[in-house]
Amino acid sequence: MSEPVLRVENLRKSFGGLVAVDGASFEIEEGSIVGLIGPNGAGKSTTFNLITGFYEADGGTVEFRGEDIVDNSPEERAQRGMVRTFQITRELTGMKVAQNMRLGGQDHDGEKVVHALAGTAADREREIGSKAKTVLKQLELWELRDEYAGNLSGGQRKLLELGRALMANPDVLLLDEPMAGVNPSLTDEIIEMIDELCEQGITFLIVEHDVDMIMDISDKVIGMHQGQVLVSGPPSWVQKDEDLLEAYFGG
Ligand code: ADP
Ligand code: MG
């Protein structure tokens, strides 16, 4: 762990009169896993969308490797190496796993891999196919490559979402609720996968409702409440924070 790869400062976003993110500041160190937690409505997803560029900030900065990217589009941010997962949409459930992966290497969150490759269209196709195979094997989805995405379990679908994002060769991977709808028997597998990918050099920001999972996996935990960062630090430390516990379980 070293330099912050991502630095958020005084980030603000309102919807009408409602202040969803109210001056949030935090840093994400390169090579770490950072968990973002907080009660419903705390502003986690809005923060996530501001960082990835899907919402326009009312104020504040988002720095990626020291450069302010707050005016960059989501595509530009993805090309810089900041990639998020997307839900497997209805359209994608009708396609096979392998096809989903190929598209992950081609659509907006996959532009980086496509641009990085030289050669003819056939060369690129081959490269994408070989990358997809490597990723599917790592995620233990290779055997399911000819299955329709719609036939996968909740957990397998989450792994496929992860796989599609990995096709873009991310430096920083942002996950919004990777455990939602996942059978408890598969959560350990997803945690192991995230750990393994982190060891390969990917930095993670994970928004998650499952506090136990976040405490287990994160190097740093950021606790939000009412649009503000209430606490930020190592899990053991955050776990003892009374304000955050109050925000979660208090009135
Ligand atoms: P969390 O992910 O922590 O549950 P959100 O970031 O989704 O919280 O929401 C924070 C607040 O902003 C909530 O009060 C929510 O209702 C509101 N909000 C989020 N997105 C929108 C939107 N697109 N339009 C209006 N209000 C929104
Ligand atoms: Mg949310």
pLDDT (tens digit, 0 to 9) for every residue of the chain, 251 residues total?
568 999 999 999 999 999 999 999 999 999 999 999 999 999 999 999 999 999 999 999 999 999 999 999 999 999 999 999 888 888 889 999 999 998 877 654 444 454 555 677 888 888 899 999 999 999 999 999 999 999 999 889 999 999 999 999 999 999 988 888 888 888 888 899 999 999 999 999 999 888 888 999 999 999 999 999 999 999 999 888 887 778 776 65
Determine the 3-state secondary structure of 229 from DSSP.
Answer: strand
What pTM does this model have? 0.90
Distance 45 CA to ligand 2 centre (A): 4
Which residues have CB under 6 Å of ligand 1? 15, 18, 20, 38, 40-46
DSSP state of 65: T
92 CA distance to ligand 2 middle (Å): 23
The residue contributing the CA closest to ligand 1 atom 20 is: 46
| Token pair recorded at residue 7 | 């630095």
Q: Whose CA is nearest to atom 25 of ligand 1?
A: 15
Atom 13 of ligand 1: nearest residue by CA position: 41
Q: What are phi and psi of 5, to 5 degrees?
A: -85, -30
Q: Buried b / exposed e across 44-65, counting CB within 10 Å, b at 16+?
A: bbbbbbbbbbebebeebebbbb
Report the alpha-carbon distance of residue 206 to residue 169 in Å, rounded: 18
Closest atom of ligand 1 to 227 CA is 10
Element of type H or E holding 145: none
**Which atom of ligand 1 is the closest one to the Cα of 42?**
3
Classify each residue of 21-30 as buried b or exposed e, where b means 16 or more C-beta atoms within 10 Å of its C-beta. Answer: bbebebbbbb
